[in-house]
Amino acid sequence: MFDPSRRKLLKAAALLPIAGSFAHAAAARERWPGGPAQASFVLQREQAGRPVSETLAGLSYETLQLADPAFFSKDNHALVQLFRQLSPHGVLRIGGNTSDYTVWSGYRGALPVQHSNRNGPQRTFVLHPQALHALAGFLRATGWKLIFGVNLKIGVPALGLELSRAVQRIVGDALLAVQIGNEANNYEKDYAAFDAAWMPYASAIHAAGVPIGGPDTGANTDWVIDYAKRHAAENVFLSRHYYRDGAPNGSIANLLASDAAFYAQVEQIMRTAEAVHLPFRLSEANSYYSGGRDGVSNVFASALWGADFMLALAQRGVAGIHFHGGTLASVEASLGQGTDTAASTADPSARRDAVTSRYSAIAGNVGLGFQPRPLYYGMLLAQQFAGARMVPGQLDEGGANLTAYAALREDTLHVALINKDVSRDASMVVSGLQGFGAGRLMRLSAPALDSRRDIVWEGSDNAGAGCAIAVDPHGSCRISLPRASAAWIRLARLA
């Protein structure tokens, strides 16, 4: 089947309804003697997939990020713009370890001395109304909603109540919910102890008419299920966190392999969430904890991982994924570490990188300005599915590490193809497209998997973005999908 002659290759290609660049396919044959992996994705449109939440793309920041009220402010135009571009209906979660060390400046009651763990924040942060007013302006400017974490660890429900009320008063309808405690599994001995500590807060906050979500646990699926069974009626969503592993164990190969065990846990949570009619959100997530792994969390591999991770979760019904990030100082403080962000370079882009946590989807600070990281582009790709309904499909990877997703929104069919393979290009036949005609193919690529910059994302709502693609009379099209790249296809229903 493989014919190394370029002329014959082009001739054969001309006979096929191939979309994308033939140069890609030719280059693939040179690099991979067996030729590209022959993959197929057959849409099963007779089966109903789950609706994808409009709020799929979310971000998460430490509460300590609010120490600079100019960060989340309507006047921080560059950040406002990056949030808006990511999603018109996003949700910002404020929390993390520093939320359990935050006290409200308006609280006049007594507070016990708060002890810190070696790997946690070393001092208490006093939050002032000015920061919440600025945050309210930022939310109005972006159209994003807010999930706000209040302190559980210190054990003073009146403090949690006052802060929850202040947040609701100041941000108004933009408040989706308050969460009580961050990863309480790190400091409560078991679920029963957490529940007992959580109850006095939840009763007071609920009675004050402030919406609650939770339990915002680290990696305890059983806690989410216990919590749902006991407290579904007082909650607006269920939540937990996800990190693939700790930063020392991070690698591009590890990140790009699928995490089937986690997906099985999500399916377990979703069975409960659907039974109690609550959405489930990954309220804090990213590649590797301890701030992320340099050369993995902040390179192009994280874009492919992020897009695939979001769509795999959307397919399972998860309503939102909040990628954790922000300045290096805020994240390092959450881990009990100081930071030296003095950059030795004059390059503005490298300086923005240097002041930012390694896994953050957006790099920068108020002084240096902001720029998207590779992960941001992966999120953009997945966010194209927001508000659509997933269409199940049968994938044959042809021996490569690739994934495929489809969804229908009104008269537009969306297909995402993600080739996470480090060494195999793929040639993919997508079928089951009867009733759809012409469309556009938009690629997500970079010079290499470890590229920090020069990410190319062709996607946009612009009708001329990417390249043209056509469905053949049998309802199929063939796409070349180079290794370490992704594609988004948008097809219009035939009139």
Q: Using CB under 6 A, list all residues that contact ligand BDP.
A: 62, 96-97, 182-183, 218, 284, 289-291, 331, 334-335
Comparing C-alpha atoms, which of 150, 135, 152, 153 is closest to residue 92? 135
Shortest CB 256 distance to ligand BDP, Å: 20
d(CA 462, CA 347): 32
Using the minimum distance from each CB to ligand BDP, give the nearer residue, 156 or 335. Answer: 335
The separation between the first and the last C-alpha atoms of the chain, rounded to the nearest angstrom, is 38
Characterise 393 by phi-psi region: left (phi > 0), alpha (psi -120 to 50), beta (else): beta
CB 113 to ligand BDP: min, Å: 21
> Helix, strand or coil for residue 382?
helix
In the complex, what is the shortest distance from the CB of residue 51 to ligand BDP, in angstroms, rounded to a whole number? 29
Distance of CA 377 to CAs 287, 289, 396, 445, Å?
A: 15, 21, 26, 10
The angle at the Cα of 384, spanning 381 to 388, to the nearest 5 degrees, equals: 145
DSSP state of 327: B
The least CB distance from residue 451 to ligand BDP, in Å, is 23
Tell me whether residue 200 or residue 218 sits nearer to ligand BDP (CB atom): 218
Asked whether 225 and 253 are in contact (CB, 8 A), the reply is no
CB burial of 380-390 (b: ≥16 within 10 Å; e: otherwise) equals: bbbbbbbbbeb
Shortest distance, CB of residue 363 to ligand BDP, whole angstroms?
A: 16
Min. distance of Cβ 187 from ligand BDP in angstroms?
A: 12
Residue whose CB is nearest to ligand BDP in the complex, by number: 96
CB half-sphere exposure, 114, CA atoms < 13 A: 23
CA atoms within 13 A on the CB side of 28: 25
57 in Cβ contact with 87 (< 8 Å): yes
Both structure tokens of 317 = 């019904």
Please answer whether residues 368 and 353 qualify as being in contact, where contact means their C-beta atoms are separated by less than 8 angstroms.
no
- In angstroms, give the least distance from the CB of 284 to ligand BDP: 6
For residues 40 and 286, which CB has a smaller minimum distance to ligand BDP in the complex? Answer: 286
Q: Is 300 helix (H, G, I), strand (E, B) or coil?
A: helix
Q: Please say which residue, 332 or 425, places its beta carbon nearer to ligand BDP.
A: 332
Which of 357/419 has CB closer to ligand BDP?
Answer: 357
- Closer of 195 and 284 to ligand BDP (Cβ): 284
Q: Quick one: 289 or 370, whose CB is closer to ligand BDP?
A: 289
Provide the minimum distance between the beta carbon of 347 and ligand BDP in the complex, in angstroms, as a whole number: 26
Distance CA 321, CA 303 (A): 14
240, 179 contact by CB (below 8 A): no
CB of 96 to ligand BDP, least distance (A): 3
Closest CB to ligand BDP among 117 and 394? 117
Query: Smaller CB distance to ligand BDP: residue 291 or 459?
Result: 291
| Cα–Cα distance, 280 to 284 (Å, whole number) | 12
